[in-house]
Chain A
Amino acid sequence: MNGRGRGHTVRMNLFRFDEPYQIFELLETEPIPSQKPPKEPEELDPSIEEMTARLGKTFCISENTDLSLRRFRIGNRMEAMAAFLNGMADADRIGRFLLAPAQTAAIGDLAVRTPEALQKAVFPLDETALCASYSEAIAAITEGRTAVFLAGEKTCLLFDTRGYVSRSVSEPVNENVVLGAHEAFTENLRTNITLLRRILRMPNFVASFLPSGGKTGTNLALLYVDGVTNPALLREVQKRLSAIDTDAVLSIGAIEQRIEDNPWLPLPQTLKSERPDRVAAALASGKVAILLEGSPIACILPATLGLLFSSAEDAAVRRPVGTLLRVVRAIGAIVSIWMPAYFLALTEHHAGQLTGEVLSVVLSSHVMVFLPLPVEMIFLLLVFQLVREAGIRVPGVVGHAIGIIGGLLLGQAAVAAHLVSTVVLIIVALSGLGNFTIPDYSTQICVAYYRVALCVAATFAGFLGIGGLTLLTIALLCSVKSFGVPMLAPFAPKTRSVRPLLVRGKLQNRAAPPDLWNAEGRL
């Protein structure tokens, strides 16, 4: 021991950091050297053995048993190998239409045994293609196609054998209507496009497949009607989609956030719909839609505030009824947004403007409640959101039960325990009810939290606060554009539109498309 003494040693031991740490912890302790895999050559190997080894390495076949590499002989003469992913490809289809015809084919009659000739003479499958690129072949296999590699050939054959399990078409969950179609998108991109093609039976309805930009290789489909959609809008959407470069794109929301104009704004700038009829109507009017593999939601753009507040049922009912529905919806939204803040402003700052009866009712209901009125209101609004979120996340009947329990029992108990007053409870309930009249789910959430902000403004500054925040919100909405289209169009700025915001317009024969998104023409 040196002359510094025992205390020094204890201190040194206490502050030692070089002890080996036994428990595994995922920490980045040192920079990971660049481990870029060597680039695979694009050319295919003519040797089946070489191809087997190469595919095995690419798909990590020692651990990944999904890849099937089936070797066979075409017409008992030519060596070949079929590569496909179990589960993604239809094994029955491969057996019946690929392997069986290949093994029984009489290729001795063929003058030349090129892949083109085999494609035409041997395989009775409809969607076939020739492929000379290794990466394309890999992409096809991961999609569920089958690649057939031929011995001595640098070109392989691709067959559409996709047959993975998917959910069947069912009723919409979030966009229910009384009068209208009752089918919704599924997670299968092909099925979704088929649902749309069944409505839009036009040759110029285009479904353009693009990579989603994620390394997961998920595909998306850009849908539009050629000759109706503004080409500038299409170019802009394509440009923004091609700029996506991320690890995984697994939901349509991830795409939406990456391509919209103002990702910081709580209000959605695209309309998400699960209804094929709604998407078809949007496409027919010149909008663009995006569908993602694995997502049962379509993203319609550009979107305006009017579109976010419109329902699929609006056009299905008669004009006066449609107008009435819209008016009711608007009243619901107004009540939902402003009623709690309005009440707070009146009671906190402008009590003199309340009549004596109203004031006495408010005071008598609040007399035993220990929370200040603004805190009580904001607390209840947040509890309402809590009940709502719980109801959504909990599946099926239990979710409904939670809504009822939350709404009735919790409210009743809170009043009995003098946690909240009855007047505030009624106002929050009315506000919540009004919130549900807003058809778009993302807009509902935005409004739900915006009313809390309004309540805070009303608490601090009464009507001045509400007026100021409302004015700023209107100005903000006026400044926002969705893919070049102002959110408040066709009202501000005024543009030609057959269907105004509130009063439902007449359904005209041969009506020109609205000039909000400068559609090229009509169908």
Chain B
Amino acid sequence: MNDRLGRFGPRELFAVTAVCTLVLGCFSIRDPGSFRDGNVSYFATVIALLLSVLLLRLGIDALKRGGFDGLGDRFRGLPKPIGILLAACSALSMLLAAVLPGACFLRALTDFIYVEATPARIVLYCVPCLAILAALGMETLARTGRVLLPITLVILAVGLGSDVPLYRAYRLFPLLTDMRHLLFESMQSLLRFLPVVLLLLVTAPGAQGWRYVQRAGTRGMLLGGALTVLAEVCLALSYRYTELTTLSSPLYRLVVEIDADNAAVRFDRIALFAWTMAALFGSGCMVYGASLLLAKTCSVRDIRPVAVLLAAAAATAVLLLRALYDAGWQVASLIGTAGAALSVLPLSGLLGRRNRCED
């Protein structure tokens, strides 16, 4: 089977995990309603991050004890309908993780950068990039992640550091006014990190053993998550929670836009350039993960057509989400995206039946 998984080391896996976690953490849609009872997002992110790491360890432990190579192998071991259903759910989760930051990023781009461009035109430029990235496979993505990680870290550090004069500690309050709200926020934040866990479990056969997946995955998630929390703390230091309920793409503004008067060089342009790469890369990884899982479960011989299909589906979902998001139908957009993603599954199943692999 041409699964384009290849072999990659712990350092590459660490980099991929960190960049994906950071991109998903920073650019996933956050409901402005989250801030209605105070600024608790950074608490929720910490809880979600720790829960995700715990889930990763549990998942690795379960697969290791079962003697499975990865999540795809586990699903293939199940009765076919159940396996396909579970694989579809996991792939959907990863595909959503590719879609949500994309939609958020697209919103920011159309709001601040390409004001006159239509979202479809922007997405059109991203589709080939996403499809090629996903089709190149995990070995390439892992190495690319290693190149991107230092760039992303520098950009984030400069982005957050340049706003230090604007930070005010009093803006952090009020805290924890409603525990139920915090719990709800944590569960919502969990959805931002869970796809990374799934990606690690799916691509584990390409790593050099479960031990490295666990170690590199945990460290990568902790680094990416810690930076996300840092960015959210900086966000909370920059804006009052009342402002955040109405502000569009606040985290994007924080990490990309820099006060032009204070900066000797307009670093925001380079930051935009780097964040575009990181966002596309994160989405590409998730599309690859979803493609690999579906291809393995449905015994598709070559992952590349699936990757291209899912990239196209993700782009469609981004556009759909963008259109619905404007109307304020956030829940409907999520359902719509899920439906769009699910529409790919029968096609994958067909491919699987046609090109069934004997192994």
Q: Do A and B bind each other?
A: yes
Q: Decide yes or no whether A132 CB sits under 8 A from chain B.
A: no
Q: Decide yes or no whether A427 CB sits under 8 A from chain B.
A: no
Q: Decide yes or no whether B147 CB sits under 8 A from chain A.
A: yes
The CA-CA distance from A493 to B12 in the complex, in Å, is 7
Binding-face segment, A152-160, A185-193, A456-464? A456-464
Q: Decide yes or no whether A486 CB sits under 8 A from chain B.
A: yes
Residue-wise interface mask of B (121-140) relative to A, using a CB-CB cutoff of 8 A (1 in contact, 0 not): 01001101100110011011
What's the nearest-Cβ distance from chain B to residue A488, in Å? 6
B113 touching A463, Cβ below 8 Å = yes
Closest A-chain residue to B137, C-beta based? A479
A478 touching B140, Cβ below 8 Å = yes
Residues of the B chain whose Cβ atoms lie less than 8 Å from the Cβ of A493: 8-9, 11-12, 142-143, 146
Residues of the B chain whose Cβ atoms lie less than 8 Å from the Cβ of A467: 272-274, 276-277, 280
Residue-wise interface mask of A (472-514) relative to B, using a CB-CB cutoff of 8 A (1 in contact, 0 not): 1011101100000010100111100000000000000000000
Instruction: Select one of A460, A462, A471, A491 contacting B281, CB under 8 A.
Output: A471
Binding-face segment, A13-21, A231-239, A261-269, A346-354? A346-354
Closest A-chain residue to B125, C-beta based? A461
A463 touching B147, Cβ below 8 Å = no
B147 touching A474, Cβ below 8 Å = yes
What's the nearest-Cβ distance from chain B to residue A202, in Å? 34
Q: Decide yes or no whether B80 CB sits under 8 A from chain A.
A: no
What's the nearest-Cβ distance from chain B to residue A451, in Å? 15
Among all A-B residue pairs, the 7 with the closest Cβ atoms: A467-B276, A478-B143, A492-B143, A479-B140, A492-B146, A468-B129, A494-B11
Residues of the A chain whose Cβ atoms lie less than 8 Å from the Cβ of B11: 493-494
Contacts A467-B276, A471-B281; is A491 near B113 (CB within 8 Å)?
no
The CA-CA distance from A492 to B149 in the complex, in Å, is 11
Residues of the B chain whose Cβ atoms lie less than 8 Å from the Cβ of A462: 113-114
Q: Decide yes or no whether A470 CB sits under 8 A from chain B.
A: yes
A468 touching B141, Cβ below 8 Å = no
Contacts A474-B147, A493-B9; is A465 near B125 (CB within 8 Å)?
yes
Closest A-chain residue to B6, C-beta based? A479
The CA-CA distance from A472 to B131 in the complex, in Å, is 10
Q: Is the interface of B mostly helix, strand, loop or mixed?
A: helix
Q: Decide yes or no whether B269 CB sits under 8 A from chain A.
A: yes
- Beyond the given pairs A460-B125, A467-B273, 4 more chain A to chain B contacts, judged by CB atoms under 8 angstroms and listed by A's residue number, are A474-B148, A479-B136, A492-B143, A493-B8
Residues of the B chain whose Cβ atoms lie less than 8 Å from the Cβ of A470: 273, 277
Residues of the A chain whose Cβ atoms lie less than 8 Å from the Cβ of B8: 493
Residues of the B chain whose Cβ atoms lie less than 8 Å from the Cβ of A299: none
Closest A-chain residue to B272, C-beta based? A463
B273 touching A471, Cβ below 8 Å = no
B144 touching A492, Cβ below 8 Å = yes
Residues of the A chain whose Cβ atoms lie less than 8 Å from the Cβ of B146: 491-494
Closest B-chain residue to A486, C-beta based? B143
A494 touching B144, Cβ below 8 Å = no
Q: Measuring CB to CB, which residues of chain A are less than 8 angstroms from any residue of chain B?
A: 342, 346, 349-350, 353, 355, 460-468, 470-472, 474-476, 478-479, 486, 488, 491-494
Q: Decide yes or no whether B268 CB sits under 8 A from chain A.
A: yes
The CA-CA distance from A492 to B12 in the complex, in Å, is 7
B277 touching A479, Cβ below 8 Å = no
Residues of the B chain whose Cβ atoms lie less than 8 Å from the Cβ of A476: 136
Instruction: Select one of B12, B113, B129 contacting A472, CB under 8 A.
Output: B129
Closest A-chain residue to B113, C-beta based? A350
A488 touching B125, Cβ below 8 Å = no
The residue among A468, A471, A491 with the most chain B CB atoms within 10 A of its own CB is A471
What's the nearest-Cβ distance from chain A to residue B127, in Å? 10
Closest A-chain residue to B12, C-beta based? A493
Residues of the B chain whose Cβ atoms lie less than 8 Å from the Cβ of A475: 132-133, 136, 140-141, 144
The CA-CA distance from A22 to B272 in the complex, in Å, is 69
Residues of the A chain whose Cβ atoms lie less than 8 Å from the Cβ of B144: 471, 474-475, 478, 492
Closest B-chain residue to A495, C-beta based? B9
B9 touching A494, Cβ below 8 Å = yes
What's the nearest-Cβ distance from chain B to residue A140, in Å? 48
The CA-CA distance from A106 to B89 in the complex, in Å, is 97
Closest A-chain residue to B126, C-beta based? A468
Residues of the A chain whose Cβ atoms lie less than 8 Å from the Cβ of B260: 355
Instruction: Select one of B9, B133, B268 contacting A471, CB under 8 A.
Output: B133
B273 touching A466, Cβ below 8 Å = yes
Instruction: Select one of A350, A460, A471, A488 contacting B129, CB under 8 A.
Output: A471
Closest A-chain residue to B105, C-beta based? A464
Residue-wise interface mask of B (60-89) relative to A, using a CB-CB cutoff of 8 A (1 in contact, 0 not): 000000000000000000000000000000
B132 touching A472, Cβ below 8 Å = yes
Contacts A478-B143, A492-B144, A494-B9; is A463 near B125 (CB within 8 Å)?
no
What's the nearest-Cβ distance from chain A to residue B68, in Å? 25
A and B contact pairs by CB, cutoff 8 A, 28 listed = A346-B269, A349-B113, A353-B266, A353-B269, A461-B122, A463-B113, A463-B269, A464-B122, A467-B272, A468-B276, A471-B144, A471-B277, A471-B280, A471-B281, A474-B144, A475-B136, A475-B140, A475-B141, A475-B144, A479-B143, A488-B147, A491-B147, A492-B143, A492-B147, A493-B9, A493-B143, A494-B9, A494-B12
Q: Decide yes or no whether B158 CB sits under 8 A from chain A.
A: no
The CA-CA distance from A471 to B142 in the complex, in Å, is 13
The CA-CA distance from A494 to B147 in the complex, in Å, is 10
What's the nearest-Cβ distance from chain B to residue A146, in Å? 55
Residues of the A chain whose Cβ atoms lie less than 8 Å from the Cβ of B269: 342, 346, 350, 353, 463
What's the nearest-Cβ distance from chain A to residue B208, in Å? 11
Contacts A466-B273, A467-B277, A470-B277; is A478 near B129 (CB within 8 Å)?
no
| CB proximity to A under 8 Å, residues B233-279 | 260, 266, 268-269, 272-274, 276-277
Residues of the B chain whose Cβ atoms lie less than 8 Å from the Cβ of A472: 129, 132-133
| CB proximity to A under 8 Å, residues B279-334 | 280-281
Instruction: Select one of B113, B125, B148 contacting A468, CB under 8 A.
Output: B125
